[in-house]
C-alpha cells in the first residue's frame, strides 16, 4: 500500500490524498460503506460501486463465525467471494467482541467469547486476528485492540491502552503478507494525555496507517470532538489516518477538519432501513404522514437514482407497506448522500476553501 498526500488546506488540517492498493486507488478523504457480512445491506456490489464507493469495509468477527475464513480463502478470497473488485478494509473484530459484554472474557493472551449465533466458544488473539484477515485477502487489515466502554475510569483506560500496544506489537510480528497493509489503533478512552501516549507507543512500532478507535461508544459529542482534536494532528503525516465507526455527516466534516482521511459507519445504511433519509437541510423521516402526498424528491440537489425517479410520497408508501424496495431505494439515496458529501469535501480541499465549506455546512445543519 502506498499513501500520497496531494494537497493540504491552508486554513486547517484537512488534506487530500491517494491510497494505492493491489485492488485499485482510493481518493481521500473517503467514506467506506460497511459490508459487515460481505454485503452492503440491500445493494449489489455493482450498485455500491455505481454510487461512487471506491473501498468498502467487511467485518472479521462475523465472517470468521460464518462462513469461516478458511472457506473464503478456498474460494479465492474475499474479493472473489463477494464479487467486489475494489479495495477492502477488514476490521479485527475487536469492537464486536467488546459489544458482546458478558459473553466475552479478555486476558493478556487474547479474548475468549461465545458466538452470538449458536453460543459456541472461540478464542481470538492478535496472531489469529492477523491470520484470519490474511486468509480473507483484504487490502487493509486492522490490529486487534481492546475497546472500552464509556464511562471508564482512567485506570481502566490506561490498562486497555497498554494491552492494545502490546497486542499491536504481536500483530506486527505475525504479519506475513506483503500485499496487505496493517493499521495500528490508538486507544485511551476520553483522556487526551492517554491518547497522546497511545500515538507515541503505536507509532513507535510502525504501521502502514493509523486509526483512532474507542470513540462514539456513548460519550458526549463534546468529548468525542475534544479527543479527536487532541489526537488526529499527532498521527504520522505520511500515513493514512482513520477514524473508526464515527459517522454522522457532521462528524465526517469535523474529522476532515482535524486531518482524518478515512471513515466508516453503518449509519447511512441502517438509517435507510429505518426510514431516516439525509439531505443537505432537513432529515426526512419518510414514514411521517406529512409526506403522504409529497410529489417532490427526497433532495432536489441529489443526483442519485432514487431522487431522479421517485417521490417522497412513493417512498413513504413503500416503507409503510413494508416493501423490500423501500430499503433498496432508501439505501441508494443515503449512501450516495454520504459519498457525494465526500466528493464535495475533496473539491473544497482542492480549492483551499475547506474551512469555509465546513462553516457553511454546519450552518445548514443548525437551520
Distances (CA, A) of 67 to 100, 101, 136, 166: 20, 23, 11, 30
| 8 A C-beta contact, residue 101 and residue 37 | no
| 8 A C-beta contact, residue 333 and residue 228 | no
| 8 A C-beta contact, residue 249 and residue 338 | yes
193 is catalytic: no
CA angle 116, 90, 190 (to 5 degrees): 80
264 is catalytic: yes
**Nearest Cα residue to 187 out of 258, 131, 260, 244:** 244
**Nearest Cα residue to 190 out of 159, 165, 225:** 225
Choosing from 139, 251, 264, 299, the catalytic residue is 264
Choosing from 9, 91, 208, 261, the catalytic residue is 91
Q: Please, which residues have CB within 8 angstroms of residue 188's CB and are 6 or more apart in sequence?
A: 157, 161, 194, 195, 196, 197, 198, 214, 227, 231
C-alpha cell, 222: 463534546
Give the integer Cα–Cα distance in Å for 18 and 29: 9
| 8 A C-beta contact, residue 331 and residue 39 | no
Q: What is the DSSP string of 62-111?
A: HHHHTT-HHHHHHTT-HHHHHT--S-EEEE-SHHHHHHTGGGEEE-SS-E
Distances (CA, A) of 335 to 3, 56, 305: 25, 12, 11
Residues annotated as part of the active site: 91, 264
Amino acid at each position: 500500500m502506498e499513501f500520497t498526500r496531494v494537497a493540504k488546506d491552508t486554513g486547517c488540517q484537512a488534506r487530500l490524498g491517494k491510497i494505492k492498493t493491489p485492488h485499485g486507488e482510493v481518493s481521500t478523504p473517503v467514506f467506506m460503506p460497511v459490508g459487515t457480512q460481505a454485503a452492503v445491506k440491500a445493494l449489489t456490489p455493482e450498485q455500491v460501486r455505481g454510487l461512487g464507493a471506491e473501498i468498502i469495509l467487511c467485518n472479521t468477527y462475523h465472517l470468521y463465525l460464518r462462513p469461516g475464513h478458511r472457506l473464503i480463502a478456498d474460494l479465492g478470497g474475499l474479493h472473489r467471494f463477494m464479487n467486489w473488485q475494489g479495495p477492502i478494509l477488514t476490521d479485527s473484530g475487536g469492537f464486536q467482541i467488546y459489544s458482546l459484554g458478558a459473553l466475552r472474557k479478555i486476558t493478556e493472551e487474547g479474548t475468549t467469547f461465545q458466538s452470538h449465533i449458536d453460543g459456541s466458544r472461540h478464542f481470538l488473539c492478535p496472531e489469529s486476528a492477523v491470520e484470519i484477515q490474511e486468509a480473507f485477502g483484504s487490502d487493509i487489515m486492522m490490529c486487534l485492540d481492546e475497546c472500552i466502554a464509556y464511562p471508564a475510569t482512567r485506570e481502566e483506560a490506561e490498562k486497555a491502552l497498554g494491552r492494545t500496544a502490546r497486542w499491536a506489537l504481536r500483530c506486527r510480528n505475525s504479519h506475513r503478507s506483503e500485499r496487505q497493509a496493517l493499521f495500528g489503533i490508538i486507544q485511551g478512552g476520553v483522556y487526551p494525555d492517554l491518547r497522546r501516549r497511545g500515538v507515541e507507543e503505536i507509532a513507535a512500532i510502525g504501521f502502514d496507517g493509523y486509526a483512532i478507535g474507542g470513540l462514539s461508544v456513548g460519550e458526549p459529542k463534546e468529548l468525542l470532538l475534544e479527543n479527536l482534536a487532541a489526537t488526529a494532528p499527532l498521527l504520522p503525516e505520511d500515513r493514512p489516518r482513520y477514524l473508526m465507526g464515527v459517522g454522522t455527516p457532521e462528524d465526517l466534516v469535523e474529522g476532515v477538519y482535524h486531518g482524518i482521511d478515512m471513515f466508516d459507519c453503518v449509519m447511512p445504511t441502517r438509517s435507510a432501513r429505518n426510514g431516516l433519509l439525509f439531505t443537505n437541510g432537513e432529515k426526512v423521516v419518510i414514514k411521517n404522514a406529512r409526506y403522504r402526498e409529497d410529489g417532490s424528491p427526497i433532495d432536489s440537489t441529489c443526483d442519485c437514482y432514487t431522487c431522479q425517479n421517485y417521490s417522497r410520497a412513493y417512498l413513504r408508501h413503500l416503507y409503510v407497506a413494508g416493501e423490500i424496495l423501500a430499503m433498496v431505494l432508501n439505501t441508494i439515496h443515503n449512501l450516495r448522500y454520504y459519498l457525494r458529501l465526500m466528493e464535495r469535501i475533496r473539491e473544497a480541499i482542492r480549492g483551499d476553501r475547506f474551512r469555509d465549506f465546513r462553516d457553511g455546512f454546519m450552518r445548514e445543519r443548525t437551520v
